[in-house]
Protein backbone atom coordinates (compact mmCIF):
# COMPACT_ATOMS: atom_id res chain seq x y z
CA UNK A 1 0.00 0.00 0.00
CA UNK A 2 1.03 3.57 -0.48
CA UNK A 3 1.85 6.04 2.26
CA UNK A 4 -1.45 7.88 1.68
CA UNK A 5 -3.42 4.66 2.12
CA UNK A 6 -1.56 3.73 5.30
CA UNK A 7 -2.28 7.17 6.75
CA UNK A 8 -6.01 6.94 6.00
CA UNK A 9 -6.28 3.36 7.26
CA UNK A 10 -4.23 4.15 10.38
CA UNK A 11 -6.49 7.11 11.12
CA UNK A 12 -9.58 4.93 10.60
CA UNK A 13 -8.28 2.24 12.97
CA UNK A 14 -7.59 4.90 15.58
CA UNK A 15 -11.21 6.05 15.35
CA UNK A 16 -12.60 2.51 15.41
CA UNK A 17 -10.59 1.52 18.49
CA UNK A 18 -11.17 4.82 20.31
CA UNK A 19 -7.50 5.72 20.58
CA UNK A 20 -5.62 8.83 19.49
CA UNK A 21 -5.90 8.69 15.67
CA UNK A 22 -2.78 10.83 15.19
CA UNK A 23 -0.66 8.35 17.15
CA UNK A 24 -2.34 5.57 15.22
CA UNK A 25 -1.16 7.26 12.01
CA UNK A 26 2.39 7.34 13.42
CA UNK A 27 2.15 3.62 14.12
CA UNK A 28 0.83 2.97 10.63
CA UNK A 29 3.91 4.60 9.09
CA UNK A 30 6.61 3.01 11.27
CA UNK A 31 6.83 -0.35 9.41
CA UNK A 32 7.94 1.39 6.22
CA UNK A 33 11.07 2.78 7.86
CA UNK A 34 12.75 -0.18 6.16
CA UNK A 35 12.28 1.52 2.79
CA UNK A 36 15.38 3.60 3.64
CA UNK A 37 17.70 0.61 3.40
CA UNK A 38 15.37 -2.05 1.97
CA UNK A 39 15.71 -1.05 -1.67
CA UNK A 40 19.35 -2.12 -1.61
CA UNK A 41 18.95 -5.50 0.07
CA UNK A 42 16.39 -7.77 -1.55
CA UNK A 43 14.67 -10.83 -0.06
CA UNK A 44 16.46 -10.55 3.27
CA UNK A 45 14.22 -10.87 6.33
CA UNK A 46 16.26 -8.55 8.52
CA UNK A 47 17.11 -5.81 6.04
CA UNK A 48 14.66 -5.84 3.10
CA UNK A 49 11.50 -3.82 2.70
CA UNK A 50 8.60 -5.85 4.08
CA UNK A 51 10.97 -7.97 6.11
CA UNK A 52 11.30 -7.84 9.90
CA UNK A 53 9.51 -4.52 10.29
CA UNK A 54 6.46 -6.13 8.68
CA UNK A 55 6.23 -9.02 11.13
CA UNK A 56 3.29 -9.36 13.53
CA UNK A 57 5.62 -9.84 16.50
CA UNK A 58 6.41 -6.11 16.65
CA UNK A 59 2.88 -4.75 17.23
CA UNK A 60 2.23 -7.65 19.62
CA UNK A 61 5.32 -6.63 21.58
CA UNK A 62 4.15 -2.98 21.59
CA UNK A 63 0.75 -4.13 22.81
CA UNK A 64 2.40 -6.13 25.59
CA UNK A 65 4.42 -3.05 26.62
CA UNK A 66 1.24 -0.93 26.58
CA UNK A 67 -0.40 -3.35 29.03
CA UNK A 68 2.70 -3.89 31.17
CA UNK A 69 3.57 -0.19 31.40
CA UNK A 70 0.12 1.28 31.93
CA UNK A 71 1.45 4.83 32.19
CA UNK A 72 2.76 4.53 28.59
CA UNK A 73 -0.37 2.79 27.32
CA UNK A 74 -1.93 5.99 25.99
CA UNK A 75 1.03 6.24 23.58
CA UNK A 76 1.88 2.60 22.89
CA UNK A 77 -1.68 1.33 22.39
CA UNK A 78 -2.56 3.64 19.47
CA UNK A 79 0.88 3.08 17.93
CA UNK A 80 0.43 -0.69 18.10
CA UNK A 81 -3.07 -0.41 16.60
CA UNK A 82 -1.69 1.74 13.77
CA UNK A 83 1.11 -0.77 13.26
CA UNK A 84 -1.44 -3.61 13.01
CA UNK A 85 -3.43 -1.56 10.50
CA UNK A 86 -0.33 -1.26 8.33
CA UNK A 87 0.28 -5.01 8.37
CA UNK A 88 -3.36 -5.83 7.68
CA UNK A 89 -3.36 -3.41 4.74
CA UNK A 90 -0.16 -4.92 3.31
CA UNK A 91 -1.71 -8.35 3.75
CA UNK A 92 -4.17 -7.39 1.00
CA UNK A 93 -1.38 -6.73 -1.51
CA UNK A 94 0.29 -9.16 -3.89
CA UNK A 95 3.61 -9.08 -1.98
CA UNK A 96 2.03 -9.62 1.44
CA UNK A 97 4.01 -9.91 4.67
CA UNK A 98 6.34 -12.53 6.20
CA UNK A 99 4.63 -15.49 7.81
CA UNK A 100 7.51 -16.70 9.99
CA UNK A 101 10.96 -15.36 10.85
CA UNK A 102 12.22 -15.45 7.28
CA UNK A 103 11.47 -13.46 4.16
CA UNK A 104 9.67 -16.45 2.64
CA UNK A 105 7.05 -17.88 2.99
CA UNK A 106 4.79 -14.87 2.87
CA UNK A 107 1.11 -14.52 3.54
CA UNK A 108 -1.04 -12.50 1.16
CA UNK A 109 -4.67 -12.22 0.19
CA UNK A 110 -3.57 -10.98 -3.27
CA UNK A 111 -6.54 -8.62 -3.61
CA UNK A 112 -4.69 -5.63 -5.01
CA UNK A 113 -1.49 -4.20 -6.39
CA UNK A 114 0.15 -1.33 -4.51
CA UNK A 115 -0.83 2.02 -6.03
CA UNK A 116 -3.71 0.60 -8.03
CA UNK A 117 -7.17 2.10 -8.33
CA UNK A 118 -8.46 -0.90 -6.35
CA UNK A 119 -6.19 0.06 -3.44
CA UNK A 120 -7.57 3.58 -3.39
CA UNK A 121 -11.16 2.38 -3.75
CA UNK A 122 -10.81 -0.07 -0.83
CA UNK A 123 -8.98 2.48 1.34
CA UNK A 124 -11.48 5.27 0.73
CA UNK A 125 -14.45 2.91 1.16
CA UNK A 126 -13.04 1.72 4.48
CA UNK A 127 -12.56 5.33 5.58
CA UNK A 128 -16.14 6.28 4.62
CA UNK A 129 -17.47 3.18 6.38
CA UNK A 130 -15.49 4.09 9.51
CA UNK A 131 -16.79 7.66 9.54
CA UNK A 132 -20.36 6.48 9.01
CA UNK A 133 -20.04 3.76 11.69
CA UNK A 134 -18.36 6.05 14.20
CA UNK A 135 -20.61 9.07 13.88
CA UNK A 136 -24.01 7.58 13.02
CA UNK A 137 -24.88 6.67 16.60
What is the secondary structure of 74-114 as a DSSP string? Answer: HHHHHHHHHHHHHHHHHHTBSS-EESSSSS-SEE----B-T
Higher pLDDT, 36 or 90: 90
User: Looking at residue 33, what DSSP letter applies?
Assistant: G
Provide the pairing of β-strand 97-98 with 106-107.
antiparallel
For residues 51 and 42, the answer to whether their CB atoms sit within 8 Å is no
Query: How confident is the model at residue 120, as a pLDDT?
Result: 97
Query: How confident is the model at residue 113, as a pLDDT?
Result: 95
3-state secondary structure (DSSP) of residue 40: coil
**Measured CA distances, 124 to 83, 84, 112 (Å):** 19, 18, 14
| d(C-alpha 23, C-alpha 2), whole Å | 18
Of 2-11, 41-50, 66-75, 125-134, where does mean pLDDT reach its minimum? 41-50
Segment (H or E) for 2: none
Q: End-to-end alpha-carbon separation of the chain, Å?
A: 31
Q: Which of 106, 64, 54 is nearest to 85 (CA)?
A: 54
Q: Which of 63, 71, 72, 69 is nearest to 17 (CA)?
A: 63
Of 5-19, 36-50, 54-68, 76-90, where does mean pLDDT reach its minimum? 36-50
Q: Kindly state the percentage of the chain with pLDDT values over 90.
A: 78
Note the pTM of the prediction, 2 decimals: 0.92
Residues 53-99: tens digit of each pLDDT: 999 999 999 999 999 998 999 999 999 999 999 999 999 999 999 99
Query: How confident is the model at residue 71, as a pLDDT?
Result: 93
Sorted by where each begins, the domain ranges of the chain are 3-135
| d(C-alpha 79, C-alpha 27), whole Å | 4
Amino acid sequence: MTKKSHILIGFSFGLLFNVNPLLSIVGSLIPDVDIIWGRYLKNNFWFSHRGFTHHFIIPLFLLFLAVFYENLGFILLPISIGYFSHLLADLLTINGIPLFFSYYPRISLKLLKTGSIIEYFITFSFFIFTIFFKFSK
